[in-house]
Amino acid sequence: MDISIEILSERFKLLGDKTRLSILALLRERDMCVCEFVEVLHCSQPGVSQHLKKLKQANLVREYRKGHWIYYQLNKEEIPELTIYMVDIPNLKKYIDQEQVECEA
Partner DNA sequence: TGATTATATAAGTATATCGTTATATATTTG
Partner DNA sequence: CAAATATATAACGATATACTTATATAATCA
**Which residues of the shown chain bind DNA in the complex (CB under 7 A)?**
13, 16-20, 33-35, 38, 43-54, 63, 65, 67-71, 103, 105
The Cα 87–Cα 21 span in angstroms is 12
Q: Which is nearer to DNA, 17 or 97 (CB)?
A: 17
Q: Which is nearer to DNA, 18 or 93 (CB)?
A: 18
Closest by Cα among 103, 89, 97 to 20: 89
Site for a second copy in 16-35 (CB under 8 A): 16-18, 20-22, 25
The Cα 78–Cα 39 span in angstroms is 28
